[in-house]
Homo-oligomer: A and B are copies of this chain.
Amino acid sequence: MDMTTKLTAAAERLFDRHGYMATGIDQLTAAAGMSSRTLYKHAGNKAQLMARVLTERDRRFMARLEVQSVDALFAALEDWVRVEGTRGCLFLRSRAETGGDTPEIAEAVAAHKAAFQQRIESVVAVDLGHEDPVLAEQVLVLLEGATHAAVYRGADAVSAARMAAAILIERAQS
């Protein structure tokens, strides 16, 4: 595993567990097993490192959402939550932590959320046989809600959201 990969993985873990601002450069170098000189050579600076973490996380998360039904979206979220834990959406969290004032971060978040919404719209269209923007928005709200409610409600929140989505989809299909 090359230094960039190792750094990005370590950074994602620390930023996710302790927050972007609360994670210092020396914690990052210690976790990644490299000197600060090497960190800066590969990452540029802390904000760019966070942006790269988000881009990598987007890639991994969106890969799991390559499914053909709305119900499978919730199954994928259940898997994600089981594997990665429940600390809320890292994209929204890092944007909020920086007040939206760090361009690299704000752009990575915007790109992810646009892709996220697009994916939901197309999966809803597959399930229904036609587009339904309002239903897609409701599914998006349920996924976002499951992600954040799971922080304090656990996996129950995800399965409740999944059942709610099934009802809305069935209703729209008939």
List chain B residues, Cβ under 8 A from A152.
Answer: 92, 109-110, 113
Q: Tell whether, in the assembled complex, residue B97 and residue A22 are in contact, meaning their CB atoms are under 8 Å apart.
A: yes
Q: For residue A171, which residue of chain B has the nearest CB?
A: B167
Cross-interface CB contact of A93 among B18, B93, B143, cutoff 8 Å = B93
Q: For residue A140, which residue of chain B has the nearest CB?
A: B149
> Assuming A22-B98, A145-B146, is B138 touching A153 (CB within 8 A)?
no
Q: For residue A161, which residue of chain B has the nearest CB?
A: B141
User: Contact flags (1/0) for A61-97 with B, using CB distance below 8 Å?
Assistant: 0000000000000000000000000011100110111
Q: Tell me how many residues of A have a C-beta within 8 Å of chain B.
A: 45
Q: Tell whether, in the assembled complex, residue B22 and residue A99 are in contact, meaning their CB atoms are under 8 Å apart.
A: yes
Interface residues of A in 101-118 (CB under 8 A from B): 101, 109-110, 113, 117
Q: Tell whether, in the assembled complex, residue B149 and residue A141 are in contact, meaning their CB atoms are under 8 Å apart.
A: yes
In the assembly, what is the distance between CA of A117 and CA of B95, in Å? 26
22 A-B pairs whose Cβ atoms sit less than 8 Å apart in the complex: A17-B99, A18-B99, A19-B96, A22-B97, A87-B96, A88-B92, A88-B96, A92-B148, A92-B151, A92-B152, A93-B96, A109-B152, A134-B160, A140-B160, A141-B145, A141-B161, A144-B144, A144-B149, A145-B148, A145-B161, A167-B168, A167-B171
